Each structure stands twice: as C-alpha cells, then as structure tokens.
Amino acid sequence: MPAAPANLFNGAYAGKKVFVTGHTGFKGSWLCEWLLQLGAEVTGYSLPPNTQPALFNQLGLKSRLHHHLGDIRDLPKLRRAVRAAKPELVFHLAAQPIVRESYIRPVETFATNLMGTVNVLEALREFKQPCAAVFVTTDKCYENRERHRGYAETDPLGGHDPYSASKATAEIAIASYRRSFFKGHPVKIASARAGNVIGGGDWAADRIVPDSIRALQKKQPIPVRNKISTRPWQHVLEPLSGYLWLGARLAPLKAHDDKLCSAFNFGPDREANRTVHQLVEEIFRHWPGEWVDKSNPHAVHEARLLHLVTTKAKRELGWRPVWSFAETIRETVEWYRLVHQKPARAREILVRDIADYCAAAQMKNLPWAAK
C-alpha cells in the first residue's frame, strides 16, 4: 500500500502526540489516517460515527489510534482526556456541521459549535507544555452579503442560519481567548476556515455529493435543491494540508512568539467556484446518471454565493490548492465507484489518494511537501 512520506510538513508529526476532536467524522477520519501515515501517535475524542456506513469504520481506525468516545460539551471529561494524552499538537474538528440540521436543533448546534470550542480552549488554557492547536471552523462564518467578491480573514463575521452564526461566534471566542489567555502562553492557537469540502467517504445526509452517490448507487435521479447556488468546492485533502502545515509552523514557536496565531482561509482557486448544477454535471462525467430539481421556494435560507480569498495562506504559509475542480471531482467519484465495487478496499484507495495528492504537491514545489 503506497504511503505519503513521513518527512512531509518538515517532519513535524513523526513520533508526535496529536489530539483530534471529531475524529470519527468524515474530515476527522481523513485527518487521522494522514497523521498515522506521517508517524504520529493519535488520540481521538468524539461521539460515535453518526452515519452508516462511516468512513471511520471503513478505515479501521478504532484499533490504530487511542479512541475515546466523549462529547465536547462535557468539559470535565474532555479536560481529563486532554491531560492524559499530553498532546504536542491539537486539531479541533468536532462540530454539528449541517446547515439545515441547525434549523431543527439550534440549541444543540450552538452548544456544540460555540461552547464545545470554548471547552477545548479551557482544556488547553491550563497546559504548561508547548502545544500547537488548530481550531477548524468554516467559510460560512462570514457575514454573507451574497456578493461575487471573496471573503478575506479581515471581513466581518456573521451568520443568517444557526450553523453559520454558531461558527462565527466560535471564531469570536477563539480570538477572545487568544488575546485574554494565550499571549505568551506555551499553547499557540490558530483557526482555519475552509471551503465546501468533498471527497470519498462522506456519507452525511443533506450534502450534495453523498446524496448524489446514494442516488447513483440506486440508479435513481439525484435530488438537487439549489442548482444555482455557488460554492468553493475543494477536495478534503486541500484544507487538511493547510491545517497540518499551519500546525507544523505553529509547533516550534516560542511562548513570546505569536506570529501565525490568527485566522486562515483555506479555499480553492476561483475556477473551482461552481454552481451545484455544474458540480452534478461534472459527477456525471465519471458516473452517468440523471438529476431532478427539488428546489423549494419555502425552504429555509441557505447562502447562494460564497467564495474565499486565500491570499494570506499563500503569503504567510506558501500554501495553495493542488487539485483543480475537475481533478477533485474525478478523485472523489473514483473513490466511491471503487469502494462500491469492493468495500474492503476503502483504506487502500484512500491511502493511495493521499500519496497521489502529496506527489502532485511536490510537483508544484509546495513547501509542506518538500522532501
């Protein structure tokens, strides 16, 4: 099975203790697999997987890392888990991630996304050892003005729906803690805002790619709610490479050094800003099918235009996307097609995808991929 070299990201993860919240989710599972490939000792803290199938189970991660079931809203339990793990790097991904679900469970969404983040900050505040922590929020944390110009880290935060608002308030809490408690602290914290992430192994409900794959597997038309809505589509490995590189750059900083302790956007190039309709049509190039318009004028509000400006990540970190929109869709659909044919190959195909992505990054001479 091909693997990505452990010396990527300046070798920052080889032999290091890494704590990941939300490790049983889609993005968390990809991150944990990559960390294991990089030689890290991974501790995960999360609720059980909430989809069937679940990528966490398909990858067999439970037996390959320190697996802890827990709710980030439970501060005492979370604090004990962090103390026991003694992490050198932390990635906070645990969240209620679905916009439409936030309309159904707004209190739970705010409790998880805001207070869960505060709890992770509290667990780290008492730390006396050097540690780098990357808090993952979302591109939807910005006050969306439905404009064509992209959003930069200096733009106002906000949120029409409870999910977006909960992530915006989480960003405010992170900034507040950084100013109030983490100046000159051995723990260095930064936040990361990613675009719409897609990739093999996402089985969540109410997301266009998993909805498309389920329909195609059943030879049914794909239900499309918002065909003209535009999103910054990116493969899951794109923001993960940003999180890992940001963590690697934070880790060596001294207590008095606060550079990079701020918010970063990780999004695709402008060409990947496509409508939902264009996304579905691109999927059909690799898995032919049909779609049906399920738009509802009475549906809850969802943003129509969204784009991220990633100038800061390019300037400060030398980070930039690796795969084009077409490559992202091809790699995503290929994972689902192959795993649909042979489910036991899920991890093999995912590890191959990581290796291919790293090789493409090396061809582009990205600093995190330097040999």
Could you write out the three-class secondary structure of the chain?
CCCCCCCCHHHCCCCCEEEEECCCCHHHHHHHHHHHHCCCEEEEEECCCCCCCCHHHHCCHHHCCEEEECCCCCHHHHHHHHHHHCCCEEEECCCCCCHHHHHHCHHHHHHHHHHHHHHHHHHHHCCCCCEEEEEECCHHHECCCCCCCCECCCCCECCCCHHHHHHHHHHHHHHHHHHHCCCCCCEEEEEEEECEEECCCCCCCCCHHHHHHHHHHCCCCEEECCCCCEEEEEECHHHHHHHHHHHHHHCCCCCCCCCCCCEEEECCCHHHEEEHHHHHHHHHCCCCCCEEECCCCCCCCCCCCCCECCHHHHHHHCCCCCCCHHHHHHHHHHHHHHHHHCHHHHHHHHHHHHHHHHHHHHHCCCHHHCC
User: What amino acid is encoded at 241 in this protein?
Assistant: S
Structure tokens at 167: 């992530």
Distance CA 187, CA 133 (A): 7
CB 236, CB 27: distance < 8 Å: yes
CB 201, CB 335: distance < 8 Å: yes
Which pLDDT score, from 0 to 100, does residue 232 have?
86
pTM, 2 dp = 0.95
Which pLDDT score, from 0 to 100, does residue 366 have?
97
Which pLDDT score, from 0 to 100, does residue 203 have?
96
Which pLDDT score, from 0 to 100, does residue 206 have?
85
Q: Is the dihedral of CA 265, 268, 273, 279 positive or negative?
A: negative
Half-sphere exposure of 221 (CA within 13 A, CB side): 8
Which pLDDT score, from 0 to 100, does residue 6 have?
72
Per-residue pLDDT of the chain (371 residues; tens, 9 = 90+): 445 567 899 999 999 999 999 999 999 999 999 999 999 999 999 999 999 999 999 999 999 999 999 999 999 999 999 999 999 999 999 999 888 899 999 999 999 999 999 999 999 999 999 999 999 999 999 998 877 678 999 999 999 899 999 999 999 999 999 999 999 999 999 999 997 899 999 999 889 999 999 999 999 999 998 888 888 899 999 999 999 999 999 999 988 888 899 999 999 988 888 999 999 999 999 999 999 998 766 555 455 567 789 999 999 999 999 999 999 999 999 999 999 999 999 999 999 999 999 999 999 999 999 97
Structure tokens at 94: 């645990």
Q: Are strands 131-136 and 89-92 parallel, antiparallel or unpaired?
A: parallel
Single out the residue of 141, 198, 135 nearest to residue 166, CA to CA.
141
- Domain-by-domain residue ranges, the chain? 9-197+235-271+307-324
Which pLDDT score, from 0 to 100, does residue 332 have?
98
CB 239, CB 195: distance < 8 Å: yes
Give the Cβ contact number of residue 22 at 10 Å.
Answer: 24
CB 201, CB 26: distance < 8 Å: yes
Indicate the CATH number of 9-197+235-271+307-324 among 3.30.460.90, 3.30.300.10, 3.40.50.720, 3.20.20.70. Answer: 3.40.50.720
Buried b (16+ CB within 10 A) or exposed e, 266-295: bbbeeebbbbbbbbbebbbebbebebeeee
